[in-house]
Amino acid sequence: MRRYSIASIPGDGIGREVVPAAIAVLTAAAAKCGFVLEFRHFDWSCQTYLKTGKMMPDDGLDRLRDHDAVFLGAVGFPGVPDHISLWGLLLPIRREFEQYVNLRPVRLLPGIASPLRDKARGDIDFWVVRENSEGEYSQIGGRTGTGENEIVVQQAIFTRRGTDRILRYAFDFARRSGRRHVTSATKSNGLYHSMPFWDERFAAIGAEYPDVAADQYHVDILAARFVMSPERFNVVVGSNLFGDILSDLGPGITGTIAVAPSANLNPERRFPSMFEPVHGSAPDIAGQGIANPIGQIWSGAMMLEHLGETEPAALVMRALETALIAPDIARTPDLGGNGTTAGFAQAVRNTLLGL
């Protein structure tokens, strides 16, 4: 029987509620489809940090290394600065395991209204591919001078290797998924060195994919087009900063961040990839059992897909979409219902077993 070992890190806040809920759905899919998901739990979080001064133990990365994937909830806690959880857990995992692709579907689910009045289901269905390892997010730079004379420099690093591999992933993905259109986010009229380079590499890599259409927009007008005409996009690729912003705008136009998933991928599969919802630990509703588990469940479906379990991944999504529009299934309060995290996940699980 096929077996996969998954490292689960529920983390903080609602992560501790939505991860178990999603695992219940995923294990049901595995049982139904004849394979085994072995979850090993790692209780690393801001609580760990407050007790030990570290988000994870010194050998944390080594403990994750041999797993087939990492399934993460959320990290973040009031009083613990964001950069602690980011630099103490998320970024080391992304860097060590060369998860240089951040992939997010932007797709309107059934039964969820888009804030874009005129847009219906099929109108919003595309993918954002974000560069996840270099670019604008660097620690290089610094502050000099004082007072009125203070100057701050923040360097962005674009390597040929890093740029080419993310662009190539976007084109490969477009070809593989049958969506033969890649749009690049640029800003070559403002960023003098990095974006002309990005554009140059986009043209060069694009030329290797004559069967995939390519176009590019400055990121400002691209953001506007996400809102005005989302139906025209298939695959959108952007640098770390642009991809970050666009991949939150995406969930914005599909109704709520609570349902949006993301994957941090090492496409070569030399290292485990990591799957996590877009939302954070949401301290305001943590502990109440009312968090929406959809983003976590959908992230789990992306994980199954990455593991090569394409049919089970589709089954999870079908169960989710069926449950979302079933009149007798209570959705969580953020979607206007009076359901609970566990209750909704249980309903998705039962729906799945009945499909």
Among 170, 124, 164, 156, CA closest to 265: 170
Residue 291 binds which of ligand ATP, Mg ion, none (CB < 5-8 A, kind-dependent) = ligand ATP
Quote the CA–CA distance of 2 and 267 in Å, as a whole number: 21
291 part of the interface to ligand ATP, by CB under 6 A: yes
Asked if 263 and 272 touch (Cβ cutoff 8 Å), the reply is no
Does the active-site annotation cover 244?
A: yes
Residue number, 89 or 348, with CB nearest to Mg ion: 89
84 part of the interface to ligand ATP, by CB under 6 A: no
Does the active-site annotation cover 220?
A: yes
Stretches 3-11, 52-60, 276-284, 332-340: which one binds Mg ion (CB under 5 A)? Answer: 276-284
The DSSP secondary structure of 267-301, one letter per residue, reads: TT-SS-EEEEESS---TTTTTSS----HHHHHHHH
Quote the CA–CA distance of 176 and 179 in Å, as a whole number: 8
Strand partners of residue 106: 126
Q: Out of 92, 111, 252, 283, point to the residue binding ligand ATP (CB under 6 A).
A: 283
Place of tokens 């566990």: 342
Stretches 170-178, 247-255, 265-273, 289-297: which one binds ligand ATP (CB under 6 A)? Answer: 289-297
Residue 11 binds which of Mg ion, ligand ATP, none (CB < 5-8 A, kind-dependent) = none
H helices, E strands: number in the chain:
12, 12
Does the active-site annotation cover 137?
A: yes
Question: Least distance from C-beta 316 to ligand ATP, angstroms?
Answer: 17
Among 295, 275, 316, CA closest to 30: 316
The DSSP secondary structure of 190-236, one letter per residue, reads: T-TTHHHHHHHHHHHHHTT-TTSEEEEEEHHHHHHHHHH-GGG-SEE
334 part of the interface to ligand ATP, by CB under 6 A: yes
11 part of the interface to Mg ion, by CB under 5 A: no
13 part of the interface to Mg ion, by CB under 5 A: no
58 part of the interface to ligand ATP, by CB under 6 A: no
Quote the CA–CA distance of 118 and 120 in Å, as a whole number: 7
Residue number, 99 or 292, with CB nearest to ligand ATP: 292
74 part of the interface to ligand ATP, by CB under 6 A: yes
Does the active-site annotation cover 12?
A: no
Quote the CA–CA distance of 70 and 7 in Å, as a whole number: 5
Q: Out of 10, 277, 280, 312, point to the residue binding Mg ion (CB under 5 A).
A: 280
Of 68, 187, 209, 334, which one is the catalytic site residue?
A: 187
Residue number, 258 or 263, with CB nearest to ligand ATP: 258
Place of tokens 């994870």: 56
Question: Least distance from C-beta 98 to Mg ion, angstroms?
Answer: 25
Residue number, 8 or 216, with CB nearest to ligand ATP: 8
Of 137, 172, 199, 217, which one is the catalytic site residue?
A: 137
State whether residue 147 is helix, strand or coil: helix
Residue number, 73 or 267, with CB nearest to ligand ATP: 73
277 part of the interface to Mg ion, by CB under 5 A: no
Q: Is 63 left (phi over 0), alpha (psi -120 to 50) or beta?
A: alpha
CB burial string 146-177: b at 16+ within 10 A, e below: eeeeeeeeeebebeeebbebbbbbbbbbbeee
Residue number, 76 or 162, with CB nearest to ligand ATP: 76
Does the active-site annotation cover 211?
A: no
Question: Least distance from C-beta 45 to ligand ATP, angstroms?
Answer: 11
Contacts to ligand ATP by CB under 6 A? 14, 74, 76, 257-258, 279-285, 291-292, 295, 334
**Contacts with Mg ion, residue ranges (CB under 5 A):** 280
- Active site positions, annotated: 137, 187, 220, 244, 248
